[in-house]
């Protein structure tokens, strides 16, 4: 038990406004407090693409607080070690006997945490840089998109008192310059990989998004069981915990809690090459990230250890990085981590430079792969295609918890980014189809990747179907057999079996009918909005007309410990809108289907009175009615006001498009 491999833990944050530093701080504290036999083997690195002195300040304060928090957690065996979560409920008092000493230290710790939270929430850039002295000097001339690398050792474990140790904490903001591509999160992960390589060089790396705190303090130990427990390490190239969320809204109104996907696809993949890499909550073997093939192929492909020159061509010019990668490639899991961190800061800065990757294999054969907004799926795909398998870390209580976006704009932005990234992968040289033909991706694993990568491709087809119903109603035609026709049974049976099957899946996962409906509805909405825009974005990018950008999801901690903020929300499950283009297509379709239903109903009444037959039947009416039901949040948005109403600019644009469509359909 004493000899477990070292783990470097990475946290990424990119924007102090969308990702409040207090959220990052909680995640970091939960990691610093993890149970591990020798915490000297753990190190936490935070990458800040926002280059924010507030984030840096918050982390420095967090490091001070950790000196109290970590010993408290360990002494009282605290269950959830993200303080905001822990203090959101009353202290647990064990089997009836009131432990006064515990209650006292609980109250003390809570007030300390609240002070910390206030300091962080009230911190402002100007004051920090004015009063912070030398410590924040590097931030003075730094612009977010243009500054040299900043590396700060916020806590060096070797300075801990005996019995009160906690892992190293390093702050990092990689060099940015307007002349370079930064590759978003993938770029940040590669810098984290290199910086940690020259500092602690742990053979295992954990990565989490800034909102994904460790909810199970034993998570690193559980991961070790999967990393070390197989007879062959090929079975656990990486170990992925399912993405789960805290404070999830009842019945998943935004269709983004992914419970069924995680259970059904995650469980099913376990029988093939394993769970996809999901970008957060994942333990990687450093050597897998360094492109080392699984053990059974090594003897054929690599003769002896690589030369200095070969390593330099792949990893870049840093001598320390090359030496450290040699240790990793040789596969020594128990190599002692370097201890004197501050002597390594200059080397860390060198490997954080924009130019460092030029002419190397970073972003392709090694590290996180560039070229997709979903660098996670892409990087996991490369690993699976190399022949590695992955293992699912499904612990109870859940390993990590994060926040699922709420509200229309945040949810659709996230779906749009995912769909863009997935389509980018599908048409790239890393596509799973090529991986199956030319590499070692198994056919069924390829099909599983295709399920998600085909999302945006469905959008144009779904759009056509959504237009077909109203087109028929407006032009008095039909595309389905009439109800009296025997052929009608075929579309009716397809419609029913599809929905009943999905409903049963939700029931099997212990979810409500409402949750099924919300997810179904959100899929239709997403398809006509986020996926459709993603599809167009990728086409424009392929034609060289635009670039794709990573839009960070807004994160809010829903369990605010003082309960003050956010209570004015009427219903957080209600769909909200803004004037982004992503809202136009669904608004158009909602209006159009309502208009078509009204026109056809009018015609049916008048026609029946005049004894005319033919035209659309029950099938076309059901199609349009179903669309109106699915798009109900938008129908409601058309008659609501404020952030629950669709903005006038969107309504006007949508109205013009509807008028044009109706005109084209009805002119003779």
Ligand X SMILES: O=c1ccn([C@@H]2O[C@H](COP(=O)(O)OP(=O)(O)O[C@H]3O[C@H](CO)[C@@H](O)[C@H](O)[C@H]3O)[C@@H](O)[C@H]2O)c(=O)[nH]1
Q: Which amino acids are annotated as binding site for Mn(2+), given as ranges?
A: 185, 209
Check binding of 209 to Mn ion (CB under 5 A). yes
Least CB distance from residue 301 to ligand X, whole Å?
A: 30
Query: Is the CB of 240 or the CB of 338 nearer to ligand X?
Result: 240
Q: Is 330 helix (H, G, I), strand (E, B) or coil?
A: coil
Least CB distance from residue 84 to Mn ion, whole Å?
A: 16
Binding at 13: pick from Mn ion, ligand X, none (beta carbon under 5-8 Å per type): ligand X
Query: Is the CB of 530 or the CB of 592 nearer to ligand X?
Result: 530
Closest to 227 in 3D by CA, of 316, 334, 339: 334
Residue 492 vs residues 154, 356, 487, 524: alpha-carbon distances, Å = 64, 60, 9, 19
Chain positions contacting ligand X, by CB under 6 A = 12-14, 19, 47, 49, 184-185, 188, 209-210, 279-280, 373-376, 414, 417-418, 421, 550, 552-553
Catalytic residue (one of 8, 15, 376, 394): 376
Stretch that binds Mn ion, among 101-109, 207-215, 451-459, 501-509 (CB under 5 A): 207-215
Please tell me the distance from the alpha carbon of residue 173 to that of residue 171, in angstroms, as a whole number: 7
Query: Is the CB of 49 or the CB of 209 nearer to Mn ion?
Result: 209
The set of residues, in sequence order, having a beta carbon less than 8 Å from that of 615 and lying 6+ positions away, is 476, 477, 478, 600, 603, 604, 607
Binding at 184: pick from Mn ion, ligand X, none (beta carbon under 5-8 Å per type): ligand X
Would you call 49 a catalytic residue per the annotation?
Answer: yes
Query: Is the CB of 258 or the CB of 627 nearer to Mn ion?
Result: 258
Query: Is the CB of 128 or the CB of 377 nearer to ligand X?
Result: 377
Residue whose Cβ sits closest to Mn ion? 209
- Beta strand residue intervals within 22-99, DSSP E: 42-48
C-beta of residue 394 within 8 angstroms of C-beta of residue 262:
no
Would you call 232 a catalytic residue per the annotation?
Answer: no
C-beta of residue 371 within 8 angstroms of C-beta of residue 428:
yes
| Interstrand relation of 150-155 and 168-173 (parallel, antiparallel or unpaired) | antiparallel
Least CB distance from residue 401 to Mn ion, whole Å?
A: 11
Query: Is the CB of 550 or the CB of 621 nearer to ligand X?
Result: 550
Query: In angstroms, what is the C-alpha Rg of the chain?
Result: 27
Q: 532-542 and 408-426 helices cross at what angle (nearest 10)?
A: 40
Residue 189 vs residues 194, 326, 354, 664: alpha-carbon distances, Å = 9, 20, 13, 51
Binding at 424: pick from ligand X, Mn ion, none (beta carbon under 5-8 Å per type): none
Binding at 188: pick from Mn ion, ligand X, none (beta carbon under 5-8 Å per type): ligand X
Binding at 520: pick from Mn ion, ligand X, none (beta carbon under 5-8 Å per type): none
Specify the DSSP class assigned to residue 336: P
Residue whose Cβ sits closest to ligand X? 279
Please tell me the distance from the alpha carbon of residue 519 to that of residue 249, in angstroms, as a whole number: 13
Catalytic residue (one of 8, 15, 49, 252): 49
Please tell me the distance from the alpha carbon of residue 238 to that of residue 388, in angstroms, as a whole number: 8
Least CB distance from residue 419 to ligand X, whole Å?
A: 10
Binding at 515: pick from Mn ion, ligand X, none (beta carbon under 5-8 Å per type): none
Least CB distance from residue 278 to Mn ion, whole Å?
A: 10
Least CB distance from residue 589 to ligand X, whole Å?
A: 25
Element (H or E) spanning 375, and its range? helix 375-385
Exposure b/e, 133-169, CB count within 10 A at least 16 = b: eeebebbeebeeeebbbbbbbbbbbeebeeeebbbbb
**Angle CA 459–461–462, to nearest 5:** 65
Q: Which residues does the annotation place in the binding site for UDP-alpha-D-glucose?
A: 19, 49
Indicate which residues carry an active-site annotation: 49, 376
Site residues for Mn ion per CB under 5 A:
209
């Amino acid at each position: 038990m004493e000899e477990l491999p070292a783990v470097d833990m990475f946290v990424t944050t990119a924007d102090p406004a969308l990702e409040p530093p207090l959220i990052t701080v909680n995640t970091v504290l939960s990691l610093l407090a993890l149970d591990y036999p020798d915490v000297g083997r753990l190190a936490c690195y935070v990458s800040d693409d926002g280059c924010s002195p507030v984030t840096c300040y918050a982390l420095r304060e967090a490091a001070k607080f950790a000196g109290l928090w970590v010993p408290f957690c360990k002494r009282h065996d605290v269950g959830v070690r993200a303080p905001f979560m822990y203090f959101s409920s009353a202290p647990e008092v064990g089997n009836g006997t009131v432990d006064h000493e515990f209650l006292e230290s609980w109250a003390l710790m809570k007030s300390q945490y609240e002070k910390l939270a206030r300091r962080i929430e009230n911190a402002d850039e100007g004051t920090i840089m004015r009063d912070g002295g030398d410590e924040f000097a590097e931030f003075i001339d730094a612009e977010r998109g243009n500054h040299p690398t900043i590396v700060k050792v916020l806590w060096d474990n070797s300075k801990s008192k005996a019995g009160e140790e906690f892992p190293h904490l390093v702050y990092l903001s990689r060099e940015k310059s307007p002349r370079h591509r930064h590759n978003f999160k993938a770029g940040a992960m590669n810098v984290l990989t290199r910086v940690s390589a020259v500092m602690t060089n742990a053979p295992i790396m954990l990565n989490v998004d800034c909102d994904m705190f460790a909810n199970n303090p034993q998570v690193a130990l559980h991961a070790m069981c999967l990393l070390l427990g197989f007879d062959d390490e090929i079975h656990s190239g990486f170990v992925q915990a399912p993405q789960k969320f805290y404070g999830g809204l009842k019945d998943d109104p935004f269709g983004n809690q992914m419970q069924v996907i995680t259970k059904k696809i995650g469980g099913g993949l376990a029988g093939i090459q394993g769970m996809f890499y999901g970008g957060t909550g994942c333990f990687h073997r450093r050597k897998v990230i360094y492109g080392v093939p699984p053990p059974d192929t090594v003897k054929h492909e690599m003769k002896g250890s690589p030369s200095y020159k070969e390593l330099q061509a792949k990893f870049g010019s840093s001598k320390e990085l090359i030496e450290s990668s040699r240790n990793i490639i040789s596969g020594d899991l128990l190599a002692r981590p370097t201890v004197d961190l501050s002597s390594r800061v200059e080397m860390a800065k060198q490997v954080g430079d924009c130019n460092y990757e030029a002419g190397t294999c970073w972003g392709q054969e090694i590290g996180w792969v560039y070229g997709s907004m979903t660098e996670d799926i892409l990087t996991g795909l490369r690993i699976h295609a190399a022949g590695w398998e992955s293992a699912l870390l499904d612990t109870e209580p859940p390993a990590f918890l994060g926040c699922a976006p709420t509200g229309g704009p945040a949810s659709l932005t996230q779906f749009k980014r995912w769909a863009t990234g997935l389509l980018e992968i599908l048409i790239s040289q890393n596509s799973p189809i090529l991986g199956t033909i030319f590499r070692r991706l198994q056919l069924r694993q390829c099909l599983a990747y295709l399920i998600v990568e085909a999302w945006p491709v469905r959008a144009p087809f779904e759009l056509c179907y959504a237009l077909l119903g109203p087109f028929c109603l407006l032009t008095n035609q039909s595309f389905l057999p009439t109800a009296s026709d025997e052929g009608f049974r075929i579309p009716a049976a397809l419609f029913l079996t599809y929905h009943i099957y999905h409903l049963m899946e939700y029931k099997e996962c212990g979810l409500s009918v409402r949750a099924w409906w919300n997810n179904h509805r959100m899929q239709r909405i997403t398809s006509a909005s986020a996926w459709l825009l993603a599809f167009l974005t990728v086409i424009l990018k392929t034609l060289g007309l635009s670039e794709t950008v990573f839009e960070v999801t807004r994160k809010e901690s829903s369990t605010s410990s003082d309960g003050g903020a956010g209570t004015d929300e009427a219903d957080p499950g209600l769909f909200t809108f803004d004037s982004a283009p992503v809202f136009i297509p669904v608004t158009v379709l909602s209006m159009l289907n309502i208009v078509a239903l009204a026109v056809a109903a009018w015609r049916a009444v008048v026609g029946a009175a005049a004894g005319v037959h033919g035209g659309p039947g029950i099938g076309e009416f059901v199609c349009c009615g179903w669309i109106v039901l699915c798009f109900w949040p938008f129908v409601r948005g058309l008659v609501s006001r404020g952030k629950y109403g669709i903005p006038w600019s969107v309504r006007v644009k949508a109205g013009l498009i509807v008028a044009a469509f109706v005109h084209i359909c009805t002119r003779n």
